[in-house]
Amino acid sequence: MQGSPNTPRLTTALVAVGLALSACSSQPDAGTSATGTFSVWDPYPQFDGGSEWVKVIEKCGAQAGVKVERQAYDTTDLTNKVLLAAQQGTAPNVLVVDNPVVSTLAEGGVVKSNQDSGLDASKAAPNLVAAAQTGGQTYGVPIGANTLALYYNKAVLSAAGVDPASISDWAALDAALAKVTAAGKKGITFAAIGTEEGTFQFLPWFWGAGAQLTDLSSADSVAALELWKSWLDKKYAPNSVIGNTQTTSWQEFATGEYAFAENGTWQLANAKKAGFEYGVIPIPSRTGGVAPAPTGGEFVTVPAQRDKDDEATAAKIANCLISPETVLATDTALTYVSAVPSVQEQQIAAQPDLKVWVDAVKSAKGRTSDGLGTRYPRISQPLWTAVQAALTGSKSPKDAMSDAQAAAK
């Protein structure tokens, strides 16, 4: 998930992959290693051959003693192409893939477990690694992460007499929104669109209420949806959030009229160009502390190949890409918070304003974690449908969540 989170658009693709993987061979051929060239596929088409990211790939290939050929695709396109390649026996040697896809590809036998491939995830933070764990095995290593937090407009909060440091729970955030709107400004904008992007933005409030994805109709789940609905009812948030993507939500915040915007690490460059002073705070949990936000970011994996020597060489390339010695350059090139705690500290030292994002990543969790794996897409769609129903007023939050739970089963 690079730039803006591609991950939230993947649910339909994931379901399709899950349905089609039964046709895949569990031992596909390597992509191009028979010619002496090892293939690396990634979801970063914005980086050309002269980019720092490609230089890292080439360096890792050289260290493994082979030439690498890199192919880049849009995230959803990459998922489809990997599936087709696995069916045809032409899977790449190294695959960098969005984290919710990993468990689906793993269950289909497309990618190897770390135990079998030799990938080492021991340096990465466990909460990030969990997104690629299924069936008691780990498949791949996170290359980096991004997540969600609350951007705020310093001038708007100052004029309303709000100290952002005081916002540590939902009650404090509500009080701040009341002051901001009473002062004639707008409160908060977010993305509640009826796609995975809406679920992605709702999850910090859902998890921050203490809710679990296995029980969408719980009192905690309903409380999270009631919070969002109350913001529309009180005019703290605009009705446009119902159709907002994270991009259009950011455009609203960039007008300078809003106190807060829920958005991600990928907006930092835009924030610096917004023309007003901004800050960032973690999304608060209902009763205090940092809410778990969903992780974005990709995993480096080794697809299954018939030639075990090719798999071993592919693992060398992959381990290089995520090693602490290399990953600082990798994450700098990809504008990610590192998955390696020691490297996160180096990032903060070089760029202190990343600390809040590092803290958010430390509290984050994968959507396919908690053993959900390939079940997640079938839970997410009813969840975003419930959010839409409640925010448009067609159902109460309680009824919407009850219906979502029934659909998820």
Q: Residue 275 is encoded by which pair of tokens?
A: 């023309």
The rounded distance, in Å, linking the Cα atoms of 236 and 180 is 9
What DSSP designation does 98 have? E
Query: Is residue 1 situated within a structural domain?
Result: no
| 223 and 142 together in one domain | no
Q: Residue 196 is encoded by which pair of tokens?
A: 């995975």
Place of tokens 């007023």: 393
HEC secondary structure over 157-178: HHHHCCCHHHCCCHHHHHHHHH
User: How far, in Å, are 16, 48, 77 from residue 43 at the CA level?
Assistant: 19, 12, 9
**Other CB atoms closer than 10 Å to residue 180's CB: what's the count?**
25
CA angle, 281 as apex, 300 and 11 as ends, to 5°?
A: 40
User: How far, in Å, are 31, 90, 247 from residue 36 at the CA level?
Assistant: 11, 15, 42
How high is the pLDDT of residue 263? 97
* Residue 300 structural domain: 7-146+295-363
The rounded distance, in Å, linking the Cα atoms of 82 and 99 is 14
* Strand segments (E) across 43-113: 67-72, 94-98
| 254 and 396 together in one domain | yes
Query: Is residue 200 situated within a structural domain?
Result: yes
How high is the pLDDT of residue 334? 84
In the listed set 326, 346, 363, which residue is the last one of a domain according to the structure? Answer: 363
Q: Residue 148 is encoded by which pair of tokens?
A: 């969600």
Helices (H) and strands (E) counted in the chain, each on its own, are 18, 11
Read off the CATH number of the domain in which 16 is found. 3.40.190.10
Would strands 37-42 and 67-72 be described as parallel, antiparallel, or unpaired?
A: parallel
For 142, list phi and psi in degrees, rounded to 5: -65, 135
How high is the pLDDT of residue 370? 84
| 321 and 277 together in one domain | no
Query: Is residue 2 situated within a structural domain?
Result: no
How high is the pLDDT of residue 353? 87
| 316 and 259 together in one domain | no
Query: Is 199 exposed, middle or buried, given 0-12, 13-18 or 19+ CB atoms closer than 10 A?
Result: buried
**Other CB atoms closer than 10 Å to residue 82's CB: what's the count?**
25
| 129 and 172 together in one domain | no
How high is the pLDDT of residue 183? 97
In the listed set 330, 346, 363, which residue is the last one of a domain according to the structure? Answer: 363
Integer distance in angstroms from the first to the last C-alpha of the chain?
Answer: 28
| 22 and 60 together in one domain | yes
Number of domains in the chain: 2
| 77 and 133 together in one domain | yes
- Tens digits of pLDDT across the chain (409 residues): 444 444 444 444 444 444 344 334 334 344 445 457 999 999 999 899 999 999 999 999 999 999 999 999 988 789 889 999 998 989 999 999 999 899 989 988 999 999 999 999 999 999 999 999 998 999 999 999 999 999 999 999 999 999 999 999 999 999 999 999 999 999 999 999 999 999 999 999 999 999 999 999 999 999 999 999 999 999 999 999 999 999 999 999 999 999 999 999 989 989 999 999 999 999 999 999 999 999 999 999 999 988 889 999 999 999 999 998 899 988 988 889 999 999 999 999 999 989 999 999 999 999 988 888 889 989 999 999 999 999 999 999 999 999 999 999 8
| 339 and 214 together in one domain | no
Q: Residue 23 is encoded by which pair of tokens?
A: 């046709």
Q: Helix, strand, coil shares of the chain as percentages rounded to 5?
A: 55, 15, 35
Would strands 133-134 and 278-281 be described as parallel, antiparallel, or unpaired?
A: unpaired
| 114 and 25 together in one domain | yes
| 320 and 403 together in one domain | no
Beta bridge partners of residue 128, listed in sequence order:
none
| 226 and 337 together in one domain | no
| 218 and 124 together in one domain | no
